[in-house]
Amino acid sequence: MALLKIARMGHPVLLQTAQPVEDVHSLSVRQLVSDMIETMLDARGAGLAAPQVHKSLRLFVYHVPEQRCAEGEAPIPPRVLINPEITPVGDAIMHCTEGCLSLPLLRGVVPRHAIVGYKGFDLDGSVISGEARGFHANVLQHEFDHLNGILYTMRIRDFASFGYADELITPRDSED
C-alpha cells in the first residue's frame, strides 16, 4: 500500500468529469482503492475521490466514523463506490459544514439533500445500493461532486460561511 499525492484546488484534474471504471475486477483498480483508503485515513478524511489522487475515474472511498453518526445511526467502515449514481430523495435540504482534502484547512457551509439514494459497485462487481441521510448523505454527495468536476466551494451560497476551520464560526457552531 502507498500514500497517494492529493491534488489541491487549482489542479485541472479536479475540474474534469471522471471516466467510468471499465473493469471493476482489475488489479489496478483494487490497488488504487487500497491506496486511496490508506491515504484517506492517513489524512483524517471522511472520503476521497479518484480525481483527488490524479486519477480521472468514477470511484470514491469513504467512511462514517462513530463521532460523525447522528443518534440511531451506525458507523460505516471504509468502503468503495464504483461508477456511482446518487439521486435526491424528497425535497429536504440540510446545511453542511464541509471541508475537503483538496482544500486543506478550509471549511464552508453547503446546502445538500438531506436524504439520497445511492447505487454503484464494490470491488467484487456486486451492486451496492441504499438510502443515506445525515453525514452519510453529505459525504456521498461531496465525493460524487468530485467525479463531476465540482468542488464544494462551487456550491457555497454565502461566502461569509467560508474560511479557515480554526477561524470560522458557522451557524451550526453558534447554536452550541
* CA 163, 12, 40, 94 torsion-angle sign: positive
Cβ count within 10 A of residue 125: 10
Would you say how long the chain is, in residues?
A: 176
Give the whole-angstrom CA distance, residue 110 versus residue 153. Answer: 8
DSSP 140: H
Residue indicated by cell numbers 499525492: 5
Q: Are 23 and 31 in contact (CB under 8 A)?
A: no
Residue 143 annotated to the active site: yes
- β-pairing, 59-64 vs 103-113, is unpaired
Q: Are strands 76-88 and 93-100 parallel, antiparallel or unpaired?
A: unpaired
Catalytic residue from among 98, 131, 143, 167? 143
Active site residues: 143
